[in-house]
Amino acid sequence: MTTSRRSFLTKAAVAAAVAVPVLGPPAHAAGFDPRPGADGVGDPLYPTLGNGGYQVVHYDLTFDFTPVTYDFTAAVTLNARATQDLSSFNLDTDGHTIDAVTVNGRPAQVALSVGKSGQELTVTPGAPLHKGAPFTATVTYHGNGKAPRASLSGWKFGTDGGFASAVQSSRADTFMPCNDTPSDKSTWTFHITAPEGYVAAANGELTGKDKRADGSAVWHFALRERMPTELLGIAVVKGTYLYGTSHTGLPLRHVVPQGQEDTYGPIVARTPDHLAWLEAKFGKYPFSVYGLHIYDGYTDALENATLTLMGTNWFKPNADGDPTYENTMVHELTHQWFGDSVAPNDWQQAWLNEGPAVYYAALYSEERGWSLMADKMKATYAKLDAVRASDGPPGLPKGLGGTNIYDGGALVLYALQLHVGQRKFDRIMGLWPRRFRDRTVTSEDFIGHAVAVTGDRSLDAFLRDWLFGATNPPMPGHPDWTVVA
Ligand SMILES: [Zn+2]
């Protein structure tokens, strides 16, 4: 055990000792009926994701990571509120060794069991919790980034011995015990230790850095807007911070591979133009900071709140020499409005994230002269009937990751735009992230919103046919578009 870990555990013990006392009426109050919280929130695609009986208000995550060995010690404190009288509650977890759990500063009993996605940590507080009462739970734990997991891992390892998190849709529990459902949004603070030669990154703003005698540092971050666990973006990497500001003064901070600043500096410098293009459509960017984390440990692109994660593999021009990777930068930036600020209430609503992201990336590509929206949509239309049959329609997917949600979701928006016209469509899409900012939403919210904005009640049936139907409706203005059997 290293010195830094000893001091860390001492700090956690102090934090536990000063935690708030039990609140609420005494246990014999009339009607008090504590029962276990549910082990899932009933997500249609992931029934055991998240937990019932409480909502998290704030997460505070302390994470002390050692590169190359991938060992870590950690502590997470949840400030939460009980939504029922609770005798016990669950946290989602996977692959950690749990060292101690306290609730309101008092030791709690814990039991670990295998769930359908990872593990369930059942916490029984010393005193039951009252509905409506705030409570604080602290879990100290340790583990190894490469340890076996009961389900998929959200850890992504680069050639530098570091890591980045990519946890969508259900893998935040491989970094910390949590309420791993998109329906539970909270604010966050992070305290991440990185040794000399490495930097730490996390969602939100860097609020301080404590250097230690051994050259390591604890990096403190705060995300003041609320975020669900699926958008967790933490990292310890050999990276360089590049800073900038948007055209409206938004602070930008990017993390690029050390020594490759000349390659990635001009690429991340495109962000202010991307922001301006999207802000003209959806209004002010919804968080207080933004940036890209470009890392060779990841090969996809992910819209972690305020800190999009992209693999180094993206950044090659196409055959014509065009920087078409900017489409993906715009896709992930669109998500900051559609998916991050306005988040899906459950995973069956994922088209509300991916549809707009695909649509506006395609529109950006068309405006740059790289491809035509209509070509992409016609090809999607041709294939979507078969995809509806195999993977479900865009609004009722059987799983995540399919073209029904991505290109299919964009096709629903394209049909809506042709049906109502450009001006009304722009109002629907522009008002959506303003009206539902910081909330979680469903397809029903979008349908109601489209009707409310336009005053056109026929949009209810129109959108239902496109979102939930077994086959494509005719494409407005394109009666010649056909499907491939
Ligand atoms: Zn996306």
Please, how many CA atoms are within 13 Å of residue 228, restricted to the half-sphere of its CB?
28
- Sorted by sequence, the CB contacts under 8 Å of residue 439 that are 6+ apart come out as 342, 343
CA 44 / ligand 1 centre spacing (Å): 20
CA 424 / ligand 1 centre spacing (Å): 24
**Structure confidence at residue 427 (pLDDT):** 98
Q: How far, in Å, CA of 376 to CA of 365, rounded?
A: 11
CA 25 / ligand 1 centre spacing (Å): 46
**Residue spans of the chain under pLDDT 70:** 1-30
CA 482 / ligand 1 centre spacing (Å): 27
Instruction: For residue 217, list its beta bridge partners.
Output: 194, 211
Residue 311 sits at φ, ψ, to 5 deg, of -70, 155
**Structure confidence at residue 485 (pLDDT):** 75
The candidate with the shortest Cα–Cα distance to 193, out of 147, 235, 139, is 235
**Structure confidence at residue 373 (pLDDT):** 98
CA 356 / ligand 1 centre spacing (Å): 9
**Structure confidence at residue 115 (pLDDT):** 80
Token readout for 138 is: 């602290």
What pTM value is reported for the model?
0.93
CA 363 / ligand 1 centre spacing (Å): 15
**Structure confidence at residue 2 (pLDDT):** 29
CA 405 / ligand 1 centre spacing (Å): 10
CA 54 / ligand 1 centre spacing (Å): 29
**Structure confidence at residue 29 (pLDDT):** 57
For the beta sheet containing 308-311, the strands, ordered from the edge strand earlier in sequence to the opposite edge, are 239-245, 251-257, 292-295, 308-311, 301-302
Q: How far, in Å, CA of 79 to CA of 90, rounded?
A: 14
Q: For residue 104, is it left (φ>0), alpha (ψ between -120 and 50) or beta? A: left
CA 403 / ligand 1 centre spacing (Å): 11
3-class SS at 139? strand
